[in-house]
Amino acid sequence: MCNYSSTISFWNNIFHNKVNKVPQKIENIIMQNDIEAAIKFLTTDSKVILDYGCGSGTMLLKCAIHSNIEKCIGIDISNEAILLSSKAATYNHLKHKFSLKCDDLSYLSTLNENSIDGCILSNILDNVTINDCDKIMNYINKITKPNGKILIKLNPYLNDKKLNEYGLTLLNDNLYIEKEGIYLRNLDTSEWTSLIENYFSIVNFKEIYFDEFNQFNRLFLLFNKK
């Protein structure tokens, strides 16, 4: 995980400030409407859900409340995120459904082929290196069942003005690094579509708006291709 030391430090600092707070009851957590609909898509007829880059575990919690979901696997490179996810799962009496691990993409190689019904990749693929992005999609393709469901959420595409405004530094091939040391792969939607379609079939695409951040994200709902 040496390439992500700055990323780990950044997220550890973010989540550390939340670990000692009392978690929210899952029924009181209101998510963006399109994300709620995406979780319904992901969990329908599924039993095992994987969230790579699970963060605080909120999306996994929203999956776990569905009675048909038997196991939620959360992986994150931030140990503070995993602590927060574990605490939230326990507080909401859902810990028995959770398997949480502080690890990187190498952990995906330990999972059995066709063992996952649905996968979440939320603001992950565009925050890793180009090589790791390809590895993640390849692993997800292998471990997810044929026609299994995948949710991919991406940051907005930034024009040159925004890239300069945010102080991003170009590394190579549209891969930038933020001043905090976090990667951003700045591809437009057509470029992401071409990459994604190498592994998955697109069911739906939508740009979704988040009031709290005053920005759009890009949401792909997918079926796995074998």
Nearest Cα to Cα of residue 120 among 212, 57, 34, 197: 57
Structure tokens at 121: 């990749």
pLDDT digits (tens, 9 = 90+) for 132-176: 999 999 999 999 999 999 999 999 999 999 999 999 999 999 999
Q: Is the pLDDT of residue 77 over 80?
A: yes
Phi/psi at 13 (5° precision) = -65, -40
Phi and psi for 88 in degrees, rounded to 5?
-65, -40
What is the per-residue pLDDT for 9?
A: 95
Compute the distance between CA of residue 78 and CA of residue 104 in angstroms, rounded to an integer: 9
Check if the beta carbon of residue 121 is closer than 8 Å to that of residue 136.
Answer: yes
Taking the model in full, what pTM does it have? 0.95
**Domains defined along the chain, listed by start:** 2-156+189-224 (3.40.50.150)
The phi, psi pair for 209, rounded to 5°, reads -100, 135
The two tokens of residue 161 are 């003005």
